[in-house]
Homo-oligomer: A and B are copies of this chain.
Amino acid sequence: MNQQASKLIIITENLLLKKIAKIIDEAGATGYTVVAAGGKGSRNVRSSGNPSVGDSFTNIKIEVLTANRDMAVKISDQVAAKFFDDYSGITYICNAEVLHAHTF
């Protein structure tokens, strides 16, 4: 089923997961993967007021494979518009080639 796809990565604060998952669903993506993450961003503090460096995984990294770049950009635009004024976050895209999946 080899198929070029876009992989959207969203790194942001844990507490936003449910709201972002809703945006992903509504955009028509078939799924996403979530990983617990720590790190340091350009602000160096999270909205909690606490730094998050390494040991504490208070962030999440969400990965979404989308059939085309437009869907990835659309999700990213909505997430950034809704949350990135108030919360730390970054979104970026990589190219991917899907080999096998149930449905994609």
Contact = CB atoms under 8 A, between A and B. Distances in A.
B34 A38 contact: yes
Instruction: Give the bracket for the number of chain A residues in contact with chain B.
Output: 35 or more
Contacts of A60: 54
Given A11-B33, A33-B39, A93 B89 contact: no
B91 A54 contact: no
A42 B101 CA distance: 9
Interface in A59-103: 59-61, 65, 72-73, 76-77, 79-80, 84, 88-103
A21 B40 contact: yes
B5 A33 contact: no
Interface of A: 5, 7-9, 11, 17-18, 21, 25, 30-43, 53-54, 57, 59-61, 65, 72-73, 76-77, 79-80, 84, 88-104
